[in-house]
Chains A and B, each alone.
Chain A
Amino acid sequence: GQSLEQPSEVTAVEGAIVQINCTYQTSGFYGLSWYQQHDGGAPTFLSYNALDGLEETGRFSSFLSRSDSYGYLLLQELQMKDSASYFCAVRGAAGNKLTFGGGTRVLVKP
């Protein structure tokens, strides 16, 4: 089976940096994805890492270490609109589907 662990909640102020960690256990591994979901909304894709290292997309970056079964999402220059839940998801041995973590709720305060 597959399992992912991420913190349940993080609180930070505007302009700060937040790192959301995700550790996973999976049989076979193709890549780690991150999704953002605002309250009452649908998940939207943020990033995907298949290889070790850092991927940067604007204020958001995602990192993967395959040897440590670990990744993180880095949110920089936090804005109020970044208040949302963030999910890591692993694409495992089956290849055709994702397994999602329980989500990290990020609360940005003024």
Chain B
Amino acid sequence: NAGVTQTPKFRILKIGQSMTLQCAQDMNHNYMYWYRQDPGMGLKLIYYSVGAGITDKGEVPNGYNVSRSTTEDFPLRLELAAPSQTSVYFCATTLDRANEQFFGPGTRLTVL
């Protein structure tokens, strides 16, 4: 089992460009989350989903969109990238609400 996978591992965007960060899991978990982590800081929740077809905003949703059409996939869309979105993005899943979350390896995004 691959667990939680994220692509790409690294990406450099120009201001105003758009991209989709991919997250996939083969753990059959219902709950999925997107976080961003700025250098030396904790994780901030962007969006989360409690099941296919259901998404909700987290703490810092502005500038991002998500969709959850299947249990396995939870892509994060950045529209009109800005330098403030330079960060490391982690996807996570959990079976039992938020007790133990399993994280993907992260995507390191730089917006120039």
A residues within 8 Å of B by Cβ?
A: 30-31, 33, 35, 41-45, 48, 87, 89, 91, 95-103
Number of interface residues of B (CB under 8 A): 26
Question: Does more than half of chain A's interface fall in helix, strand or loop, or is it mixed?
Answer: strand
Q: Is the CB of A33 within 8 A of B45?
A: no
B residues within 8 Å of A by Cβ?
A: 31, 33, 35, 40-45, 48, 50, 56, 58-59, 90, 92, 97-106
Q: Is the CB of A91 within 8 A of B97?
A: yes
Q: How far is the CB of B4 from chain A (nearest CB, A)?
A: 9
Q: Is the CB of A45 within 8 A of B42?
A: no
**Selected contact of A33 from candidates B40, B42, B56, B99, CB within 8 Å:** B99
**Which of chain B's residues have a CB closer than 8 A to the CB of A91?**
97-99
Q: Is the CB of B99 within 8 A of A31?
A: yes
**Which of chain B's residues have a CB closer than 8 A to the CB of A31?**
99
